[in-house]
A and B are shown apart, each in its own frame.
Chain A
Amino acid sequence: MSLWAAQVWLGLSIAVIGISMHRTGPAFRRHPFGTPIALLGLAVMLIHVEQPPHPELEVVSAAVDAAFWTIPALLGTRLVLSGAPLYWKSRPLPLLAGWVLIVAGWLQYYSTSSPSLTDALSAGGSLIGILLSLAVFVLCVRTAERMTPQEPETEGLDEREMKYVASVLRRHLGVDDEP
């Protein structure tokens, strides 16, 4: 495998790892690094000094072609979500800007693509493939969890721990002294 082919797959892998790190949520220390790592991965995947070989060249070209409509679509989605009355009052400006971008994304998609029956069948096959792969993963996780030995039952609090818990509760309830 050539260096440029490896660069495409390395970039894709870094991007997926970055997205996963971001999805761990703000409570994790790795969360802030998720977005920069994902962007770095995309850059590694798409920016080349030399042309990658077949089939990576087609992968990069398909990703770049899709980016012309997916980037406005994603930005529009983000703006609509921030402007829609989901958690707070409706904010018309981001909402309108978001819908303009979403419509632009759809127009861009239809100007460059012509969906056919074969595309619909491929999409169906692709969906089944994704579901099968996820089903295998779920079954494997279930098996792994079933094979994990159960932790022994926790023992009750001793005298010292009971005093500590009682003092914490007393402090939180605003009770000064023991009765």
Chain B
Amino acid sequence: MSPEIDSMATAFAGSAALTSLFVVLAMIGTMNPYHRPIIPVLGALLVMLSCTYMLAWTDGTAVDILALRTAMSEGVFAMIGLLPIAFLVLTALLLEASLRKRPEDPLLALLESESGSE
């Protein structure tokens, strides 16, 4: 496997595993009486363990806690690598928001004239 494809596959498996961990943690943080978390948690654990197994298999190492930590670490590196692209999109959106003209709204104009008269 070429180094480029290898790094792409590592980033894929790592970010999938880390996103699944984030999904589980987000469900813990937003727990409420209407949640039915068992199936989504099982799905997320399945993705995490499959990705860990895939990474350990390609590296030729044992599937243990170190493999899980390595998969999560690869996920962190992959997501940090994705941040500049996300920031580029965000910068374009912020530029659009900064340059746009606020649409005329009669209700807001009325509110402004009332606050100005006080």
Query: Chain B contacts of A121 at CB under 8 A?
Result: 4-5, 7-8, 11
CB pair B102–A85 under 8 Å, yes or no, is: yes
Binary contact readout B1-31 vs A (1 if CB under 8 angstroms, 0 otherwise): 0011101111111111101111101101110
Report the separation of the CA atoms of residues A89 and B105 in the bound assembly, to the nearest whole angstrom: 12
Number of interface residues of B (CB under 8 A): 60
Q: Known contacts A105-B87, A137-B43, A144-B36; is A21 also within 8 Å of B7 by CB? A: no
Query: Chain A contacts of B16 at CB under 8 A?
Result: 129-130, 132-133
Report the separation of the CA atoms of residues A144 and B39 in the bound assembly, to the nearest whole angstrom: 6
Instruction: Tell me whether chain A's interface is mostly helix, strand or loop, or mixed.
Output: helix
CB pair A5–B43 under 8 Å, yes or no, is: no
B72 shortest CB reach to chain A, Å: 7
The 8 Å CB contact of B15, one of A9, A24, A117, A129, is A129
Report the separation of the CA atoms of residues A62 and B79 in the bound assembly, to the nearest whole angstrom: 11
Report the separation of the CA atoms of residues A140 and B40 in the bound assembly, to the nearest whole angstrom: 5
Report the separation of the CA atoms of residues A21 and B26 in the bound assembly, to the nearest whole angstrom: 8
- B65 an interface residue at 8 Å Cβ cutoff? yes
Report the separation of the CA atoms of residues A102 and B84 in the bound assembly, to the nearest whole angstrom: 12
Report the separation of the CA atoms of residues A109 and B90 in the bound assembly, to the nearest whole angstrom: 15
Query: Chain B contacts of A95 at CB under 8 A?
Result: 98
Instruction: Tell me whether chain B's interface is mostly helix, strand or loop, or mixed.
Output: helix
CB pair A9–B36 under 8 Å, yes or no, is: no
**Smallest CB-CB separation from B28: which chain A residue?**
A17
The 8 Å CB contact of B13, one of A34, A85, A129, A144, is A129
A78 shortest CB reach to chain B, Å: 11
CB pair B81–A119 under 8 Å, yes or no, is: yes
CB pair B94–A84 under 8 Å, yes or no, is: yes
**Smallest CB-CB separation from B102: which chain A residue?**
A85
List residues of chain A with CB under 8 Å of any chain B CB: 1, 5, 9, 12-13, 16-21, 23-24, 34, 55-56, 58-59, 62-63, 66, 70, 73, 77, 80-81, 83-86, 88-90, 95, 98-99, 102, 105-106, 109, 113, 115, 117-119, 121-130, 132-134, 136-137, 139-141, 143-145, 147-148
A122-B11, A129-B14 known; 6 new pairs, CB 8 Å cut-off, are A24-B30, A84-B94, A125-B10, A132-B12, A136-B44, A144-B38
List 10 A–B pairs whose Cβ atoms lie within 8 Å, in order of A's numbering.
A20-B29, A21-B30, A34-B29, A70-B83, A84-B94, A90-B102, A105-B87, A124-B8, A126-B12, A148-B36
